[in-house]
């Protein structure tokens, strides 16, 4: 039987077994700073119960533990094993989530004013990477998938046009899959970018599990992408903020990657997070196919149950999505659907995704996110009959509540019109034909005022508004505000969406540059 082997965790375990005395940081000294001898009051017992065990492996860079920024021992071996496991030429561990990988990639690839071809509805970390590098993005509007109507990658035709116009581009940057687990097969996009000898980099934050089982979509690495960032903590077993940056081929300069990672990542990285990345890889190597098989079976049974037993709350199932795509001849995109991401909605249109989220929380079921239509659930590799049973009871209760509700649909003012929903899903739905400048120089001394959101049409935004989750900006700083964007902001705010970057969370006002 194959034995689980995680060299970084083994190094930490061996170090602790030697009962070391700490005369170094961190200040809790293997948890001794919160021991009974240090803190006698019984009220601290709960703190000790939850934190002392993890503090034992929360160490610093020692000769016994290795150095993330100059790995020579256990971290080097753990990253090598991760590269072998995920199929890259080299893998870098990240302790700042996929955000740190996206920032490092753009800093490594771009000089000021370099052109980057970017999918319009990217995560805010991509935008921040463009700001830091002073690169100039050429935005491509995403396509909508035919079933759930969520924004995915741009069409191949759009990318072809951009590459023809900007063959000097330093990279093509895509997000695949999106927050809803919907994306495309990337091999044709990789082939197209490589035809121009341009690297294709992918924010695959929500697809760390891709390619690990025949029932899951192909990963970006399997498709040939040059650099891929994955949030190992989102869908595998790593601790929050644990992620990986995978590189393959020679189009991405790895020396520059190492340099940019040293700028972006802490000089005192968390060893519990690093060890969890190593452990997650080891678990997937040893038990991954079995765990995935079990979760796929649980979700499939849930899908069949909801079709047969749930009157109002329905699920946008991957098989239905594929069938819809096949029926619609205007789509020639090779769609991919994550079967472990469940999209629930009220087919009577009386309950928004936000309201459905609130009802599920009342039953102790906490989900990933919601939007104006859907509630998004991430089914991990732990999906069990017990947890699915709890979810089913919650849905049955919500169905009962809907059966006693008025038969009226959600009022027009609360339900998104198709045009407004399109604006949000497309990340404002505009294709920039010219490069956009995110250079902060020249804007720092401009006068900023706050005005009523209703009066902002045609004005230039002085803040970036990011509904979170999913963390996709609906308005960029320096972008001109349209009437459609205003309507979309108002509807999202009325439905309960939270906006990162907004000083006024009510969204009654917005910051603009005065003329």
Tell me, what's the pLDDT at 319?
66
Parallel, antiparallel, or unpaired for β 115-119 and 136-140?
Answer: parallel
Tell me, what's the pLDDT at 201?
98
- pLDDT tens readout for residues 221-273: 999 999 999 999 999 999 999 999 999 999 999 999 999 999 999 999 999 99
Question: pLDDT grade, residue 67 (50/70/90)?
Answer: very high
Residue 501 has pLDDT above 70, yes or no: yes
Percent of the chain exceeding pLDDT 90 equals: 66
Bridge partners of 125, per DSSP, are: none
Contact 176, 202 (CB under 8 A): yes
Mean pLDDT of 306-330: 76
Question: pLDDT grade, residue 417 (50/70/90)?
Answer: very low
Q: State residue 60 phi and psi, 5-degree precision.
A: -120, -175
Mean pLDDT: which of 204-218, 308-322, 328-342, 451-465 is highest? 204-218
- Cα–Cα distance for residue pair 503/486, rounded to 1 Å: 16
- Cα–Cα distance for residue pair 151/142, rounded to 1 Å: 6
Q: What is the pTM of this model?
A: 0.89
Specify the range with the lowest mean pLDDT, choosing from 3-17, 71-85, 286-300, 496-510.
Answer: 496-510
| CA dihedral (439, 107, 424, 509) positive or negative | negative
- pLDDT tens readout for residues 384-405: 788 899 999 999 999 999 988 6
Q: Lay out the sheet containing 115-119: strands in order across.
A: 90-94, 243-247, 227-230, 200-203, 171-175, 115-119, 136-140
- pLDDT tens readout for residues 38-65: 888 888 999 999 999 999 999 999 999 9
- Cα–Cα distance for residue pair 395/404, rounded to 1 Å: 15
- Cα–Cα distance for residue pair 71/494, rounded to 1 Å: 50
Q: State the Cα angle at 134 between 132 and 139, rounded to 5°.
A: 105
Domain ranges of the chain: 7-55, 74-281, 285-403, 442-513
Question: pLDDT grade, residue 422 (50/70/90)?
Answer: very low
- Beta carbons within 8 Å of 260's beta carbon, 6+ residues apart: 103, 104, 105, 107, 108
Mean pLDDT of 322-340: 70
Question: pLDDT grade, residue 148 (50/70/90)?
Answer: confident
Kindly provide the b/e burial profile for residues 341-375, where b requires at least 16 CB atoms within 10 angstroms of the residue's own CB. bbbbbbebebbbbbbbbebbeeeebebbbbbbbbb
Tell me, what's the pLDDT at 308?
94
Read off the tokens for 327: 């029926």
Residue 178 has pLDDT above 80, yes or no: yes
Strand segments, DSSP code E, in 50-188 are 90-94, 115-119, 136-140, 171-175, 182-184
Read off the tokens for 105: 């990639």
- Cα–Cα distance for residue pair 243/107, rounded to 1 Å: 18
- pLDDT tens readout for residues 103-125: 999 999 999 999 999 998 899 99
Nearest to 448 by CA among 366, 357, 515: 515
Contact 331, 146 (CB under 8 A): yes
| Higher per-residue confidence, 276 vs 423 | 276
* Domain 442-513, CATH number (from 3.40.50.300, 3.90.105.10, 3.90.1570.10, 3.90.209.20): 3.90.105.10
**Element containing residue 201 per DSSP (H, E):** strand 200-203
Tell me the average pLDDT of the chain: 88
Q: State residue 461 phi and psi, 5-degree precision.
A: -70, 140
* Domain 74-281: assigned CATH number: 3.40.640.10
Read off the tokens for 391: 């979810």
Nearest to 359 by CA among 403, 398, 312, 411: 398
Residue 424 has pLDDT above 70, yes or no: no
- Cα–Cα distance for residue pair 422/436, rounded to 1 Å: 22
Tell me, what's the pLDDT at 491?
83
- Cα–Cα distance for residue pair 478/463, rounded to 1 Å: 8
Instruction: Could you please state the CATH topology (level 3) that the domain comprising 285-403 is classified under.
Output: 3.90.1150
| CA dihedral (293, 294, 299, 300) positive or negative | positive
Parallel, antiparallel, or unpaired for β 509-513 and 448-452?
Answer: antiparallel
């Amino acid at each position: 039987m194959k034995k689980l082997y995680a060299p970084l965790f083994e190094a930490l375990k061996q170090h602790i077994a030697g009962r070391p005395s700490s005369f170094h940081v961190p200040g809790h000294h293997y948890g001794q700073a919160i021991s009974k001898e240090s803190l006698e009051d019984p009220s601290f017992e709960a703190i000790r119960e939850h934190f002392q065990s993890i503090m034992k492996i929360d160490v610093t860079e020692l000769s016994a533990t290795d150095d993330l920024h100059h790995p020579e021992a256990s971290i080097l071996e753990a990253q090598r094993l991760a590269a072998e496991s995920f199929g890259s030429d080299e893998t870098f561990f990240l302790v700042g989530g996929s955000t740190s990988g996206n920032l490092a990639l753009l800093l490594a690839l771009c000089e000021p004013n370099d052109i980057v071809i970017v999918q319009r509805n990217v995560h805010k970390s991509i935008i921040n990477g463009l700001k830091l590098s002073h690169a100039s993005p050429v935005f491509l509007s995403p396509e909508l998938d035919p079933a759930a109507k969520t924004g995915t990658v741009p069409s191949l035709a759009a990318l072809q046009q951009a590459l023809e116009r900007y063959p000097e581009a330093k990279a093509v940057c895509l997000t695949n899959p999106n927050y809803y687990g919907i994306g495309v097969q990337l091999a044709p996009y990789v082939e197209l970018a490589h035809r121009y000898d341009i690297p294709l980099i992918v924010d695959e934050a929500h697809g760390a599990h891709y390619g690990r089982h025949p029932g899951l979509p192909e990963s970006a690495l399997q498709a040939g992408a040059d650099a891929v960032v994955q949030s190992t903590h989102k869908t595998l077993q790593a601790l929050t903020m644990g992620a990986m940056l995978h590189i393959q081929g020679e189009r991405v300069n790895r020396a520059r990657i190492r340099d940019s990672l040293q700028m972006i990542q802490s000089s005192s990285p968390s060893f519990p997070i690093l060890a969890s990345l190593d452990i997650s890889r080891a678990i997937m190597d040893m038990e991954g196919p079995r765990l995935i098989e079990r979760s796929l079976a649980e979700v499939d049974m849930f899908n069949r149950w909801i079709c047969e037993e749930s009157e109002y709350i329905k699920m946008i199932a991957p098989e239905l999505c594929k069938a819809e795509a096949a029926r619609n001849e205007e789509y020639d995109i090779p769609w991919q659907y994550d079967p472990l991401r469940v999209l629930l909605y009220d087919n009577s249109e009386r309950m928004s995704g936000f309201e459905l989220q609130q009802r599920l929380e009342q039953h102790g079921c906490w989900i990933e996110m919601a939007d104006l239509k859907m509630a998004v659930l991430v089914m991990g590799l732990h999906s069990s009959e017990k947890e699915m049973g709890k979810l089913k009871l919650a849905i049955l209760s919500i169905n009962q509540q809907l059966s006693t509700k008025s038969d009226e649909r959600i009022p027009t003012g609360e339900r998104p019109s198709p045009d407004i929903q399109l604006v949000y899903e497309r990340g404002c739905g505009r294709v920039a034909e010219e490069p956009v400048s995110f250079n902060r120089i020249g804007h720092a001394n401009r006068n900023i005022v706050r005005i009523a959101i209703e009066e902002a049409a045609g004005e230039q935004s002085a803040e970036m508004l990011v509904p979170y989750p999913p963390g996709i900006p609906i308005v960029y700083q320096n972008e001109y505000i349209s009437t459609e964007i205003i309507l979309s902001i108002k509807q999202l705010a009325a439905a309960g969406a939270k906006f990162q970057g907004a000083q006024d969370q009510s969204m009654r006002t917005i910051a603009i540059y005065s003329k």
